[in-house]
Amino acid sequence: PQGAVVMGIESSCDETGVGLVADGRLLGECTATSMDEHARFGGIVPEVAARAHLQSMVPAVRTALERAGLEKGDVDAVAVTAGPGLSTALTVGIAAAKAYALALGVPLLGVHHLAGHVAADTLEHGPLPERSVGLVVSGGHTSLLMLGDLARDPIVHLGDTADDAAGEAFDKVARLLGLGYPGGPALSRAAAEGDPGAIRFPRPTVGPYGFSFSGLKSAVARWIDASQGPLPVADIAASFQEAVCDVLTAKAVAACTDHGVDTLVIAGGVAANGRLRELAESRCAERGITVRVPPPRLCTDNGAMIAAVGSMLVEAGAPWAPPGMSADSSAP
Ligand code: KG4
Ligand code: ZN
Protein backbone atom coordinates (compact mmCIF):
# COMPACT_ATOMS: atom_id res chain seq x y z
CA PRO A 1 0.00 0.00 0.00
CA GLN A 2 1.03 3.58 -0.78
CA GLY A 3 -0.67 5.43 2.07
CA ALA A 4 -0.63 4.85 5.81
CA VAL A 5 -1.74 1.40 6.95
CA VAL A 6 -4.33 1.83 9.69
CA MET A 7 -5.36 -0.99 12.00
CA GLY A 8 -8.92 -0.61 13.31
CA ILE A 9 -10.15 -2.29 16.48
CA GLU A 10 -13.86 -2.63 17.35
CA SER A 11 -15.22 -4.03 20.63
CA SER A 12 -18.30 -1.95 21.49
CA CYS A 13 -20.73 -4.87 21.64
CA ASP A 14 -20.37 -8.61 20.97
CA GLU A 15 -18.05 -8.53 17.93
CA THR A 16 -14.29 -8.45 18.30
CA GLY A 17 -13.28 -6.82 15.01
CA VAL A 18 -9.88 -6.04 13.56
CA GLY A 19 -9.42 -4.52 10.10
CA LEU A 20 -6.52 -3.12 8.08
CA VAL A 21 -7.12 -0.27 5.66
CA ALA A 22 -4.85 1.84 3.45
CA ASP A 23 -5.78 4.32 0.73
CA GLY A 24 -9.47 3.76 1.45
CA ARG A 25 -9.02 0.08 0.61
CA LEU A 26 -9.67 -2.90 2.87
CA LEU A 27 -6.52 -5.06 3.05
CA GLY A 28 -7.69 -7.70 5.50
CA GLU A 29 -10.00 -8.22 8.46
CA CYS A 30 -11.08 -10.67 11.11
CA THR A 31 -14.28 -10.67 13.15
CA ALA A 32 -14.93 -12.98 16.10
CA THR A 33 -18.35 -12.94 17.73
CA SER A 34 -19.61 -13.99 21.15
CA MET A 35 -23.22 -13.99 19.89
CA ASP A 36 -23.76 -17.68 20.67
CA GLU A 37 -22.73 -17.16 24.30
CA HIS A 38 -25.46 -14.50 24.69
CA ALA A 39 -28.15 -16.46 22.87
CA ARG A 40 -29.31 -18.37 25.96
CA PHE A 41 -29.86 -15.03 27.77
CA GLY A 42 -31.83 -13.61 24.82
CA GLY A 43 -29.62 -10.53 24.77
CA ILE A 44 -26.05 -9.28 25.24
CA VAL A 45 -24.47 -9.71 28.68
CA PRO A 46 -21.72 -7.05 29.03
CA GLU A 47 -19.39 -9.09 31.27
CA VAL A 48 -19.62 -12.07 28.95
CA ALA A 49 -18.86 -9.84 25.96
CA ALA A 50 -15.85 -8.28 27.70
CA ARG A 51 -14.31 -11.65 28.54
CA ALA A 52 -14.86 -12.86 24.97
CA HIS A 53 -13.07 -9.74 23.63
CA LEU A 54 -10.17 -10.49 25.94
CA GLN A 55 -9.93 -14.02 24.59
CA SER A 56 -10.35 -13.11 20.91
CA MET A 57 -8.43 -9.85 20.54
CA VAL A 58 -4.85 -10.98 19.95
CA PRO A 59 -5.82 -13.90 17.69
CA ALA A 60 -8.04 -11.52 15.68
CA VAL A 61 -5.15 -9.06 15.23
CA ARG A 62 -2.85 -11.89 14.09
CA THR A 63 -5.43 -13.28 11.65
CA ALA A 64 -6.26 -9.86 10.18
CA LEU A 65 -2.54 -9.13 9.59
CA GLU A 66 -2.06 -12.56 8.03
CA ARG A 67 -5.05 -12.10 5.71
CA ALA A 68 -3.70 -8.70 4.65
CA GLY A 69 -0.24 -10.17 4.06
CA LEU A 70 1.24 -7.68 6.52
CA GLU A 71 3.55 -7.76 9.53
CA LYS A 72 2.76 -5.80 12.68
CA GLY A 73 5.65 -3.45 11.84
CA ASP A 74 3.73 -2.37 8.71
CA VAL A 75 1.01 -0.71 10.81
CA ASP A 76 1.29 3.12 10.74
CA ALA A 77 -1.57 3.99 13.10
CA VAL A 78 -4.08 2.26 15.38
CA ALA A 79 -7.73 3.36 15.44
CA VAL A 80 -10.15 2.13 18.06
CA THR A 81 -13.85 2.54 18.83
CA ALA A 82 -14.09 5.04 21.69
CA GLY A 83 -17.89 4.82 21.95
CA PRO A 84 -20.80 4.66 22.10
CA GLY A 85 -21.13 1.09 23.34
CA LEU A 86 -20.87 -1.15 26.38
CA SER A 87 -18.32 0.33 28.73
CA THR A 88 -16.67 -2.93 29.78
CA ALA A 89 -16.56 -4.17 26.19
CA LEU A 90 -15.09 -0.91 24.83
CA THR A 91 -12.42 -0.94 27.53
CA VAL A 92 -10.91 -4.20 26.28
CA GLY A 93 -10.50 -2.84 22.73
CA ILE A 94 -9.11 0.49 23.92
CA ALA A 95 -6.59 -1.20 26.22
CA ALA A 96 -5.46 -3.45 23.37
CA ALA A 97 -5.21 -0.51 20.94
CA LYS A 98 -3.17 1.52 23.43
CA ALA A 99 -0.79 -1.39 23.94
CA TYR A 100 -0.28 -1.90 20.20
CA ALA A 101 0.19 1.84 19.54
CA LEU A 102 2.68 2.10 22.39
CA ALA A 103 4.62 -1.01 21.37
CA LEU A 104 4.72 -0.02 17.69
CA GLY A 105 5.39 3.67 18.41
CA VAL A 106 2.50 4.81 16.19
CA PRO A 107 -0.46 7.19 16.70
CA LEU A 108 -3.62 6.10 18.50
CA LEU A 109 -6.92 7.47 17.17
CA GLY A 110 -10.36 7.30 18.82
CA VAL A 111 -13.29 6.65 16.49
CA HIS A 112 -17.04 7.21 16.93
CA HIS A 113 -18.84 3.90 16.40
CA LEU A 114 -21.62 5.41 14.25
CA ALA A 115 -19.09 7.18 12.00
CA GLY A 116 -17.56 3.73 11.57
CA HIS A 117 -20.86 2.17 10.45
CA VAL A 118 -21.28 4.86 7.80
CA ALA A 119 -17.61 4.74 6.73
CA ALA A 120 -17.93 1.00 6.05
CA ASP A 121 -19.68 1.98 2.84
CA THR A 122 -16.66 3.96 1.57
CA LEU A 123 -14.56 0.76 1.54
CA GLU A 124 -16.87 -0.61 -1.15
CA HIS A 125 -18.22 2.48 -2.92
CA GLY A 126 -15.55 5.17 -2.49
CA PRO A 127 -15.65 8.55 -0.71
CA LEU A 128 -18.94 10.08 0.41
CA PRO A 129 -20.16 13.41 -0.97
CA GLU A 130 -19.76 16.58 1.11
CA ARG A 131 -23.07 16.01 2.86
CA SER A 132 -25.17 12.91 3.30
CA VAL A 133 -27.83 11.47 5.57
CA GLY A 134 -27.02 8.30 7.48
CA LEU A 135 -29.51 5.76 8.79
CA VAL A 136 -27.74 3.45 11.24
CA VAL A 137 -29.99 0.57 12.23
CA SER A 138 -28.74 -2.32 14.35
CA GLY A 139 -29.53 -4.25 17.50
CA GLY A 140 -28.26 -1.31 19.56
CA HIS A 141 -28.88 1.74 17.38
CA THR A 142 -31.58 3.45 15.39
CA SER A 143 -30.18 6.83 14.40
CA LEU A 144 -30.88 9.24 11.61
CA LEU A 145 -27.73 11.31 11.13
CA MET A 146 -26.68 14.43 9.24
CA LEU A 147 -23.16 13.77 7.98
CA GLY A 148 -20.42 15.98 6.64
CA ASP A 149 -16.73 15.08 6.50
CA LEU A 150 -16.45 12.09 8.84
CA ALA A 151 -12.90 13.09 9.88
CA ARG A 152 -13.65 16.75 10.60
CA ASP A 153 -17.32 17.33 11.35
CA PRO A 154 -19.22 16.09 14.38
CA ILE A 155 -22.09 13.71 13.76
CA VAL A 156 -25.45 15.47 14.11
CA HIS A 157 -28.37 13.32 15.29
CA LEU A 158 -31.57 14.31 13.49
CA GLY A 159 -33.48 11.60 15.32
CA ASP A 160 -33.13 8.40 17.30
CA THR A 161 -35.36 5.77 18.81
CA ALA A 162 -37.21 6.67 21.99
CA ASP A 163 -37.12 3.05 23.18
CA ASP A 164 -36.14 -0.17 21.35
CA ALA A 165 -33.66 -0.20 18.49
CA ALA A 166 -34.97 -1.46 15.14
CA GLY A 167 -32.91 -4.67 15.31
CA GLU A 168 -34.04 -5.20 18.90
CA ALA A 169 -37.66 -4.98 17.71
CA PHE A 170 -36.93 -7.61 15.03
CA ASP A 171 -35.32 -9.81 17.71
CA LYS A 172 -38.22 -9.43 20.17
CA VAL A 173 -40.93 -10.08 17.59
CA ALA A 174 -38.98 -13.06 16.24
CA ARG A 175 -38.99 -14.41 19.79
CA LEU A 176 -42.77 -13.92 20.07
CA LEU A 177 -43.08 -15.93 16.88
CA GLY A 178 -40.73 -18.63 18.13
CA LEU A 179 -38.11 -17.90 15.48
CA GLY A 180 -35.02 -17.83 17.72
CA TYR A 181 -32.22 -15.30 18.37
CA PRO A 182 -30.92 -13.17 16.72
CA GLY A 183 -34.26 -12.89 15.07
CA GLY A 184 -33.74 -10.39 12.26
CA PRO A 185 -32.56 -12.80 9.57
CA ALA A 186 -35.07 -15.52 10.61
CA LEU A 187 -37.94 -13.05 10.69
CA SER A 188 -37.13 -11.66 7.26
CA ARG A 189 -36.99 -15.21 5.86
CA ALA A 190 -40.43 -15.94 7.32
CA ALA A 191 -41.71 -12.61 5.98
CA ALA A 192 -40.77 -13.60 2.44
CA GLU A 193 -43.63 -16.14 2.49
CA GLY A 194 -46.18 -13.72 3.95
CA ASP A 195 -48.43 -10.84 2.90
CA PRO A 196 -47.13 -7.46 4.12
CA GLY A 197 -50.65 -6.04 3.88
CA ALA A 198 -52.30 -8.82 5.92
CA ILE A 199 -52.28 -6.94 9.25
CA ARG A 200 -52.11 -3.19 9.65
CA PHE A 201 -49.70 -2.69 12.57
CA PRO A 202 -49.16 0.83 13.98
CA ARG A 203 -46.29 2.98 12.77
CA PRO A 204 -45.43 5.04 15.84
CA THR A 205 -42.98 7.91 15.44
CA VAL A 206 -41.61 10.71 17.60
CA GLY A 207 -41.29 14.19 16.09
CA PRO A 208 -40.13 14.62 12.49
CA TYR A 209 -37.18 12.18 12.56
CA GLY A 210 -37.58 10.09 15.71
CA PHE A 211 -38.67 6.48 16.06
CA SER A 212 -40.40 4.27 18.63
CA PHE A 213 -40.63 0.51 18.29
CA SER A 214 -41.78 -0.79 21.67
CA GLY A 215 -45.43 0.05 20.94
CA LEU A 216 -45.22 -1.82 17.66
CA LYS A 217 -43.77 -4.86 19.43
CA SER A 218 -46.63 -4.70 22.00
CA ALA A 219 -49.18 -4.43 19.20
CA VAL A 220 -47.78 -7.62 17.67
CA ALA A 221 -47.91 -9.33 21.09
CA ARG A 222 -51.55 -8.24 21.59
CA TRP A 223 -52.47 -9.45 18.11
CA ILE A 224 -50.90 -12.85 18.83
CA ASP A 225 -52.70 -13.10 22.21
CA ALA A 226 -56.04 -12.30 20.62
CA SER A 227 -55.68 -14.63 17.66
CA GLN A 228 -57.30 -18.05 17.55
CA GLY A 229 -56.26 -21.16 15.67
CA PRO A 230 -52.85 -21.67 14.07
CA LEU A 231 -50.69 -18.52 14.05
CA PRO A 232 -50.18 -16.97 10.59
CA VAL A 233 -46.45 -16.54 11.29
CA ALA A 234 -45.45 -15.49 7.77
CA ASP A 235 -48.20 -12.82 7.55
CA ILE A 236 -47.36 -11.43 11.00
CA ALA A 237 -43.65 -11.33 10.11
CA ALA A 238 -44.28 -9.65 6.76
CA SER A 239 -46.71 -7.10 8.24
CA PHE A 240 -44.36 -6.26 11.12
CA GLN A 241 -41.38 -5.95 8.77
CA GLU A 242 -43.40 -3.68 6.51
CA ALA A 243 -44.28 -1.36 9.42
CA VAL A 244 -40.63 -1.05 10.49
CA CYS A 245 -39.31 -0.52 6.96
CA ASP A 246 -42.09 1.95 6.18
CA VAL A 247 -41.26 4.30 9.08
CA LEU A 248 -37.49 3.97 8.68
CA THR A 249 -37.51 4.82 4.99
CA ALA A 250 -40.20 7.52 5.22
CA LYS A 251 -38.17 9.44 7.84
CA ALA A 252 -34.86 8.91 6.06
CA VAL A 253 -36.28 10.22 2.80
CA ALA A 254 -37.85 13.19 4.62
CA ALA A 255 -34.48 13.98 6.23
CA CYS A 256 -32.84 14.03 2.79
CA THR A 257 -35.47 16.20 1.10
CA ASP A 258 -35.81 18.60 4.07
CA HIS A 259 -32.03 19.17 4.09
CA GLY A 260 -31.42 19.14 0.35
CA VAL A 261 -29.21 16.07 0.56
CA ASP A 262 -29.05 13.61 -2.35
CA THR A 263 -27.25 10.67 -0.72
CA LEU A 264 -28.62 8.28 1.89
CA VAL A 265 -26.29 5.75 3.54
CA ILE A 266 -27.99 2.86 5.34
CA ALA A 267 -25.73 0.83 7.65
CA GLY A 268 -25.82 -1.47 10.68
CA GLY A 269 -27.06 -5.06 10.93
CA VAL A 270 -30.64 -4.26 9.87
CA ALA A 271 -29.32 -2.80 6.58
CA ALA A 272 -29.00 -6.45 5.56
CA ASN A 273 -32.82 -6.54 5.39
CA GLY A 274 -33.88 -6.87 1.77
CA ARG A 275 -37.26 -5.18 2.17
CA LEU A 276 -35.64 -2.15 3.85
CA ARG A 277 -33.24 -1.73 0.93
CA GLU A 278 -35.98 -2.28 -1.66
CA LEU A 279 -38.33 0.28 -0.10
CA ALA A 280 -35.53 2.82 0.43
CA GLU A 281 -34.40 2.43 -3.16
CA SER A 282 -37.86 2.87 -4.68
CA ARG A 283 -38.74 5.86 -2.49
CA CYS A 284 -35.35 7.50 -3.09
CA ALA A 285 -35.35 6.86 -6.84
CA GLU A 286 -38.58 8.88 -7.16
CA ARG A 287 -36.78 11.84 -5.61
CA GLY A 288 -33.35 11.57 -7.22
CA ILE A 289 -31.69 10.38 -4.01
CA THR A 290 -28.88 7.81 -4.24
CA VAL A 291 -29.02 4.98 -1.68
CA ARG A 292 -25.72 3.50 -0.54
CA VAL A 293 -25.54 0.32 1.54
CA PRO A 294 -22.29 -1.44 2.52
CA PRO A 295 -21.97 -5.13 1.63
CA PRO A 296 -23.63 -7.30 4.32
CA ARG A 297 -20.36 -8.41 5.95
CA LEU A 298 -19.48 -4.74 6.56
CA CYS A 299 -22.98 -3.82 7.82
CA THR A 300 -22.53 -5.59 11.15
CA ASP A 301 -19.87 -4.48 13.65
CA ASN A 302 -16.34 -4.93 12.33
CA GLY A 303 -12.82 -3.51 12.61
CA ALA A 304 -12.53 -2.48 8.97
CA MET A 305 -15.12 0.29 9.40
CA ILE A 306 -13.12 1.69 12.33
CA ALA A 307 -9.91 1.53 10.29
CA ALA A 308 -11.74 3.36 7.48
CA VAL A 309 -12.47 6.33 9.76
CA GLY A 310 -8.95 6.07 11.23
CA SER A 311 -7.58 6.35 7.72
CA MET A 312 -9.62 9.53 7.14
CA LEU A 313 -8.40 10.96 10.47
CA VAL A 314 -4.76 10.31 9.52
CA GLU A 315 -5.35 12.00 6.13
CA ALA A 316 -6.96 14.98 7.85
CA GLY A 317 -4.05 15.31 10.29
CA ALA A 318 -6.37 14.83 13.26
CA PRO A 319 -4.78 14.95 16.73
CA TRP A 320 -3.74 11.67 18.37
CA ALA A 321 -5.86 10.34 21.20
CA PRO A 322 -4.44 11.30 24.61
CA PRO A 323 -2.66 8.51 26.55
CA GLY A 324 -5.43 8.76 29.14
CA MET A 325 -8.16 8.11 26.58
CA SER A 326 -11.09 6.27 28.13
CA ALA A 327 -14.25 4.59 26.87
CA ASP A 328 -17.01 7.08 26.04
CA SER A 329 -19.87 4.62 26.36
CA SER A 330 -22.61 7.20 25.86
CA ALA A 331 -20.83 9.26 23.16
CA PRO A 332 -23.47 11.45 21.46
O1 KG4 B 1 -24.93 -4.32 13.67
P2 KG4 B 1 -25.27 -5.58 14.34
O3 KG4 B 1 -24.57 -6.85 13.93
O4 KG4 B 1 -25.02 -5.55 15.89
C5 KG4 B 1 -25.31 -4.51 16.72
O6 KG4 B 1 -26.46 -4.48 17.18
O7 KG4 B 1 -24.41 -3.70 16.97
O8 KG4 B 1 -26.84 -5.77 14.18
C9 KG4 B 1 -27.51 -6.92 14.65
C10 KG4 B 1 -28.99 -6.69 14.53
C11 KG4 B 1 -29.79 -7.76 15.21
O12 KG4 B 1 -30.81 -7.16 15.97
C13 KG4 B 1 -30.37 -8.57 14.04
O14 KG4 B 1 -31.60 -9.16 14.35
C15 KG4 B 1 -30.53 -7.49 12.98
O16 KG4 B 1 -29.38 -6.67 13.14
N17 KG4 B 1 -30.57 -8.04 11.63
C18 KG4 B 1 -31.64 -7.96 10.82
C19 KG4 B 1 -31.32 -8.67 9.63
N20 KG4 B 1 -30.05 -9.16 9.77
C21 KG4 B 1 -29.62 -8.76 11.00
N22 KG4 B 1 -32.82 -7.35 10.99
C23 KG4 B 1 -33.69 -7.44 9.98
N24 KG4 B 1 -33.48 -8.10 8.84
C25 KG4 B 1 -32.31 -8.73 8.62
N26 KG4 B 1 -32.11 -9.38 7.48
ZN1 ZN C 1 -22.76 -1.22 15.67
173 phi, psi to nearest 5 deg:
-70, -40
Distance CA 327, CA 94 (A): 7
The lowest-confidence range among 28-37, 132-141, 293-302 is 28-37
Tell me if 331 is assigned to some domain. no
Statement to judge: residues 278 and 311 lie in one domain: no
- Residue among 270, 275, 301 whose CB has most ligand 1 atoms within 8 A, to mutate: 270
pLDDT digits (tens, 9 = 90+) for 20-41: 999 999 999 999 998 888 877 7
Pocket-testing residue among 164, 217, 276, 300, ligand 1, by greatest number of atoms within 8 A of Cβ: 300
User: Is 213 near ligand 1, meaning CB less than 6 Å away?
Assistant: no
From the CB of residue 162, how many other CB atoms can be counted at a distance below 10 Å? Answer: 16
Residue 219 lies in a domain: yes
Query: pLDDT at position 1, please?
Result: 64
In a domain, 194, yes or no: yes
Among protein residues, the one with the nearest Cα to ligand 1's atom 8 is 269
The verdict on 108 and 179 lying in the same domain is: no
**Average pLDDT in the 103-132 region?**
97
- Give me the number of domains the chain comprises: 2
On the question of pLDDT at 43 being above 80, the answer is no
Burial of residue 288 (CB within 10 Å: 0-12, 13-18, 19+) is exposed
Q: What is the CA(291)–ligand 1 centre distance, in A?
A: 19
Q: Is 139 in the pocket of ligand 1 (CB under 6 A)?
A: yes
Q: ipTM score here?
A: 0.97
- What percent of the chain is predicted at pLDDT more than 70? 99
Mean pLDDT over all residues of the chain?
96
CATH code, domain with 60: 3.30.420.40
Q: How many CB atoms lie within 10 A of CB 134?
A: 30
Which amino acid residue places its CA nearest to atom 6 of ligand 1? 139
Quote the ligand 1 centre to 300 CA distance (angstroms): 7
pLDDT in the model for residue 320: 96
In this model, does residue 2 exceed pLDDT 90? Answer: no
Calculate mean pLDDT across residues 227-239: 96
Distances (CA, A) of 270 to 6, 40, 97, 275: 27, 21, 28, 10
How much is the average pLDDT of 282-299?
97
User: How much is the average pLDDT of 110-121?
Assistant: 98
Same domain for 20 and 151: no
Checking if the pLDDT of 113 tops 90, the result is yes
Mean pLDDT within 65-77: 97
273 alpha carbon to ligand 1 midpoint, in Å? 8
Domain that residue 224 falls in: 130-294
Predicted pLDDT of residue 294:
97
Query: Which residues, including other chains, have CB under 8 Å from residue 147's CB and lie 6 or more apart?
Result: 118, 128, 131, 132, 133, 134, 153, 155, 156, 265
Q: Are residues 134 and 275 in the same domain?
A: yes
Q: Does the pLDDT of residue 165 top 80, yes or no?
A: yes
Does a structural domain hold residue 61?
yes
- pLDDT at residue 41 in the model: 79
pLDDT for position 44:
83
Residue 314 near residue 76 (C-beta atoms within 8 A): yes
Amino acid 149: pLDDT? 97
How many C-alpha atoms does 325 have within 13 Å on its Cβ side? 26
Cβ-based neighbours of 257, under 8 Å, separated by 6 or more:
287, 289
Q: For residue 1, is it within any domain? A: no
Same domain, 180 and 59: no
CB 269 within 8 A of CB 138: yes
Question: Do 258 and 167 sit in the same domain of this protein?
Answer: yes
| Within a domain: 323 | no
Considering the domain architecture, whether residues 150 and 269 belong to the same structural domain is answered as: yes
pLDDT of residue 38: 83
State in Å: Cα 274 to ligand 1 middle.
12
Beta bridge partners of 156: 146
Same domain, 10 and 80: yes
Task: Tell me, yes or no, whether 275 and 172 share the same domain.
Answer: yes
d(CA 137, CA 272) in angstroms, rounded, equals 10
CB 84 less than 6 A from any atom of ligand 1: no
What whole-number distance in Å separates Cα of residue 280 and Cα of residue 253? 8
Terminus-to-terminus CA distance in the chain, angstroms? 34
Q: Which residues contact 280 (CB under 8 A, 6 or more apart)?
A: 135, 248, 249, 252, 253, 264, 266, 291
Same domain, yes or no, for 76 and 174? no
Domain contains 177: yes
Pair (194, 113) in one structural domain = no
In a domain, 237, yes or no: yes
Pair 163, 271 in one domain? yes
The pLDDT of residue 125? 97
User: For residue 301, what pLDDT is reported?
Assistant: 96
Question: Residues 60, 168, 162, 119: is their CA dihedral positive or negative?
Answer: positive
